[in-house]
Chains A and B, each alone.
Chain A
């Protein structure tokens, strides 16, 4: 039996290797044919590396590339990678998927900027900003699900905390109190989710749905009944960017705009990414949390309080989601708009799955989704160059998630006991 199973497994690995190889070749051909042949021979693409600000320590020259040559080179490289994958197979498929998508995106950007110029640094900065709430949400999901509690309520938690942050920041006049209120509301909703799903053993998806619906309803209700009437409560309140305090840092080339023209939320997200990663995989606490998610009965036998671990993780997840929500208001727009999170909580869930329930993977996928978001905005400027409707780019993260989940480009493996209420015996 075991031998047969092993043969089957081998065959399926081989088949997947071939499939991925074919997929790579197709991507390469798409670059060669669609992007390469669609341009005239002499066209140049200019990618800007400078921001519009006048004072800059060092002005970098723009990258000027021959459009067609770039497309042909990148396309050929991807085809070669695909052939190698088909014949021999790479050990780390994930890495090469990254390389291939990187090639495709670069070729696409250069193609979109043919005959004109395009601010590369602008889109990178925007990507990082747009990735921030997704990263917060994904980290929130990881903390909950590693301990075995499915959390689809990230969207609701974000929306609620975005709302409370604005209203409290304006009512008290302190942006810090606004942040505190956001954290509290996230914590409260998380506690609610925890009580329903851990205490009452309600189906965790139903419980998350309750919170999402409730947050949508309550924020819309209060937005219309309070914020529309007392518009003073919805004035713009944002944290200043880092370069506001250290102007010199903001003038550095590339890293200046990329890292120092950002508010504290971006930095907090990056720091928390490291903290969560270390805490989950390098500490005793993390080992216990993961044990609870993988095999709660065994963890219980070893004296770990399964319920307490789950409660703690869900509440921490609530705090992280709340930071993601506060980003929308205090870190970005400054005011609350109806349904302003716009499904980012679900994208965060997708990023978590795409990143295979690891913080680093989730970060990478957040960046991809953030980039797709930023690209969509920028492409509307280049509307004459690109004939792809922006709606299709907006679909991309969702489609990618489905493809990943279906195991076409690598199996996503959730924690074994994710979503199953624990019954103490």
Chain B
């Protein structure tokens, strides 16, 4: 039943004679306003849960200036700490560069650029996971299972990382990385197969497989893959061998690593795959119009399985990246929710690899800055999660943003439209 509905709502946007650069700029308006509005909403939340601000407002009529000052201070403290944690202190950076050239001392340099390095480190798994969800969206499949696939990828690559010995780094590292991707690809392909074969909706199945993956990880980390010896009572796997580690570029506290460039490379590959290959074209056709794809002789089922398998592989790479470059082991719940966040990234990036990379950089920076905000301004890091919910909502319902800012409607379809549980 639902299939008959989709063509109507998914007709291609009408051809307009707008220059490409204006279109590109125009498509940025809603995302930027969405992020801005989300930050404003979060600021209101920070204020409403701040005792000093609330007391200041209870004396608003005696001392309105004090209330406004308290408001300003709370917001400035919070977002100031966010900026410091995310990018760093520009003055300090300049001074550190000066010191480096004057004396050759790298310590201030490392300290000054540490926040920026951490932001890029946090952005890296986001790029992989965001691409995963985006690739699913291109086939009109909603992969909510990125978080579980990420765990599967991490477990597989940590296993290869510590269990396979005697390989040179040039083989061991890619092997562990791709092993994680492959395991997660198989994990992701199952919901795709079930969707193609029985019509069972991938949203339910990927969600169920998330929880199965978490329990599996619990069991493996507490049992068969648990580290022996003195640490035997902590649920943690052994560390991967140095030959499996993704190399870092700078001295120790700076964790910026080659995974970031692997992620960018993968983003380019995803772009080329989707827009320059026949398989990619088929996947996008199935996503755009299932019935047309079927009439055109495209094997719809095979493309669904392929799309979800590739989506799983990308999410698995996020896990492999974290294991091989950052943590070097898998402990109980090691992911702060990269997989869940990736839904927001794919929507914010409009399912385009470039958009996803930009969105990932933004959210990686935000999340990293939020850590600093937590320690400096005592604002829980979960504020970032609220920002995400808001961003998803505004992106998925552009009319809200347009109404808020009195924008004119742009042509075409801005969000993908899914279907019900049925076939």
Do A and B actually bind? Answer: yes
> In the complex, are the beta carbons of B215 and A394 less than 8 A apart?
yes
Q: Is B368 an interface residue (CB 8 A)?
A: no
B268 in the interface (beta carbon within 8 A): no
Q: Which residues of A contact B419 (CB under 8 A)?
A: 419-420
Q: State the Cβ distance, B377 to closest chain A Cβ, in Å.
A: 11
Whether A210 pairs with B396 at a CB distance below 8 angstroms is yes
The segment from B114-122, B204-212, B314-322 that touches chain A is: B204-212
Q: Is the CB of B380 within 8 A of A203?
A: no
Q: Are A420 and B5 in contact (CB under 8 A)?
A: yes
* Residues on B with beta carbons closer than 8 Å to the beta carbon of A152: 203, 207
Instruction: Pick from B22-30, B168-176, B385-393 the stretch touching chain A.
Output: B385-393
Q: Given A200-B399, A206-B347, A213-B389, check contact A402 B205 (CB 8 Å).
A: yes
Establish whether residues B422 and A398, one from each chain, have CB atoms under 8 Å apart when the complex forms. no
B residues less than 8 Å from A391 (CB atoms)? 215-216, 218-219, 222
Whether A417 pairs with B219 at a CB distance below 8 angstroms is: no
Expressed in whole angstroms, the minimum distance between the Cβ of B235 and any Cβ of chain A is: 12
- Are the C-beta atoms of B200 and A395 separated by less than 8 Å? no
Give bound CA distance, A213 to B337, whole Å: 11
Instruction: Chain A residues near B219: list those with CB within 8 A.
Output: 389, 391-392
Query: Are the CB atoms of A221 and B396 closer together than 8 Å?
Result: no
A90 vs chain B, min Cβ distance (A): 22
Q: Give, as a whole number of angstroms, the nearest-CB distance from A320 to chain B.
A: 19
Report B1-20 residues with CB < 8 Å from chain A CB: 1-2, 5
**Docked-complex contact B215 and A221, CB < 8 angstroms:** no
Nearest Cβ on chain A to B367's Cβ, whole angstroms? 12
Is B63 positioned at the interface, with any CB of A under 8 Å from its CB? no
Give the CA-CA distance A201 to B343 in the complex, in Å.
Answer: 19
Contact partner of A205 (CB less than 8 A), chosen from B203, B340, B378, B389, is: B203
Interface presence of A349 (CB below 8 A)? yes
A350 contacts B by Cβ under 8 Å: yes
Q: Does A405 contact B (CB under 8 A)?
A: yes
- Indicate if B383 sits at the interface (CB-CB under 8 A): yes
| CB under 8 Å from chain B, chain A span 376-410 | 389, 391-392, 394-395, 398-399, 401-402, 405-407
Once the chains bind, are A398 and B392 in contact (CB under 8 Å)?
A: no
Residues from chain B with a CB closer than 8 A to the CB of A350 are 204, 208
The answer to whether A13 has its CB under 8 Å from any CB of chain B is: no
Nearest neighbor of B142 in chain A, beta-carbon distance: A205
A416 at the interface (CB under 8 A from B): yes
Q: Are the CB atoms of B388 and A206 closer together than 8 Å?
A: no
Residue on B nearest A204 in the bound complex, by CB: B418
A148 CB → nearest B CB, Å: 8
Known A205-B418, A209-B144, A217-B382: A343·B5 in contact at CB below 8 Å: no
Name which of A72-80, A222-230, A256-264, A274-282 contacts chain B: A222-230
Looking at chain B's contact residues, is the secondary structure mostly helix, strand, loop, or mixed?
helix
User: Does B200 lie within 8 Å of A406, measured CB to CB?
Assistant: yes
Please report the C-alpha to C-alpha distance between residue A226 and residue B382 in the assembled complex, in whole angstroms: 13
Which residues from B are CB-within-8-Å of A84? none
Taking a contact as CB atoms under 8 Å apart, the answer to whether A402 and B200 are in contact is: yes
CB distance from B34 to the nearest CB of A (A): 12
Name the B residues within 8 Å of A401 (CB-CB): 204, 208
Q: Which residues of chain A are near B201, meaning CB under 8 Å?
A: 405
In chain B, what residue has the closest Cβ to A207? B396
Using known A-B contacts A221-B382, A346-B211, A395-B212, determine if residue A418 contacts B205 with beta carbons closer than 8 Å.
no
Q: Which of A218, A406, A413, A419 lies in contact with B198, CB distance below 8 A?
A: A406
Q: How large is the interface on A (under 10, 10 to 19, 20 to 34, 35 or more residues)?
A: 35 or more
- In the docked arrangement, what's the CA distance between A394 and B418, Å? 30
Please, how many angstroms separate the alpha-carbon atoms of A218 and B340 in the complex?
A: 15
Q: Is residue B112 within 8 Å, beta carbon to beta carbon, of the partner chain?
A: no
Q: Mark B170-188, 1 if CB is under 8 A from A, else 0.
A: 0000000000000000000
For residue A367, CB closer than 8 A to chain B, the reply is no
Flag if A203 contacts B49 (CB, 8 Å): no
Q: Could you say which of B205, B390, B417 contacts A203, with CB atoms under 8 Å apart?
A: B417
CA gap between A221 and B385 in the complex, in Å: 9
CB distance from B303 to the nearest CB of A (A): 19
C-alpha gap A202/B393 in the complex (Å)? 9
Per-residue CB contact flags for chain A residues 174-191 toward chain B (1 = under 8 Å, else 0) read 000000000000000000
A405 and B420 contacting across the interface, CB-CB below 8 Å: no
The smallest beta-carbon distance between A119 and chain B, in angstroms, is 26
Q: Does A233 contact B (CB under 8 A)?
A: no
Counting chain B CB atoms within 10 Å of each CB, which of A148, A221, A407 scores highest?
A221
Q: Is the CB of B389 within 8 A of A414?
A: no
The main secondary structure of chain A at its interface with chain B is helix
List the B residue with the shortest CB-CB distance to A353: B204
Q: How far is the CA of A248 from the CA of B48 in the complex (A)?
A: 49
User: In the bound complex, what is the Cα–Cα distance between A399 and B393 (angstroms)?
Assistant: 31
- Given the complex, which residues of B lie within 8 Å of A206, measured CB to CB? 142, 347, 392, 396, 415, 418
Interface check B223, CB cutoff 8 A: yes
List the A side residues contacting B204 at CB < 8 Å.
349-350, 353, 401-402, 405
Flag if B383 contacts A217 (CB, 8 Å).
Answer: yes
Tell me the B353-396 residues at the A interface (CB within 8 Å): 378-380, 382-386, 388-390, 392-393, 396
Q: Is A220 an interface residue (CB 8 A)?
A: yes
* Assembled-state Cα–Cα distance A209/B216 (Å): 24
Q: Which residues of B contact A343 (CB under 8 A)?
A: 211
From 400 to 423 in chain B, residues with beta carbon under 8 angstroms from any chain A beta carbon are 400, 415-422
Q: Compute how far the CA of A419 lies from the CA of B6 in the bound complex, rounded to whole angstroms.
A: 12
Q: Is B393 within 8 A of A196, CB to CB?
A: yes
Question: How many angstroms from the CA of A102 to the CA of B26 in the assembled complex?
Answer: 61
A214 touching B386 by the CB < 8 A rule?
yes
> Is the beta-carbon distance between A389 and B216 smaller than 8 angstroms?
no
B344 located at the interface, meaning its Cβ lies under 8 Å from any Cβ of chain A in the complex: yes
Q: How far is the CB of B174 from chain A (nearest CB, A)?
A: 31
Q: How far is the CB of B138 from chain A (nearest CB, A)?
A: 15
A414→B204 CA distance, assembly (Å): 13
Q: How far is the CA of A204 from the CA of B142 in the complex (A)?
A: 12
| Contact in complex: A398, B379 (CB < 8 Å) | no
Asked if B45 CB lies within 8 Å of chain A CBs, one says yes
User: Is B397 located at the chain interface by the 8 A CB criterion?
Assistant: yes
A216 lies within 8 A of chain B by Cβ: yes
Given A200-B397, A389-B219, CB of A210 within 8 Å of CB of B418: no
Q: Given the complex, which residues of B lie within 8 Å of A196, measured CB to CB?
A: 393, 396-397
Interface residues of B in 207-238 (CB under 8 A from A): 207-209, 211-212, 215-216, 218-219, 222-223
Known: A206-B392, A419-B419. A395 touches B215 (CB 8 A): yes
A-B contact pairs, 25 of them (CB 8 A): A145-B421, A200-B399, A203-B418, A205-B142, A205-B418, A206-B415, A206-B418, A209-B144, A210-B389, A213-B388, A214-B393, A218-B45, A221-B45, A224-B382, A225-B49, A225-B379, A391-B218, A392-B219, A394-B215, A398-B208, A401-B204, A402-B205, A406-B200, A419-B2, A419-B418
Given A145-B421, A217-B384, A420-B5, 16 more A-B residue pairs with CB atoms under 8 Å apart are A200-B399, A202-B396, A203-B417, A205-B418, A214-B386, A224-B382, A226-B49, A346-B208, A391-B216, A392-B219, A395-B216, A405-B200, A405-B204, A407-B200, A417-B420, A419-B419
Give the 3 A-B residue pairs with the shortest CB-CB distance, closest first.
A217-B385, A419-B420, A214-B389
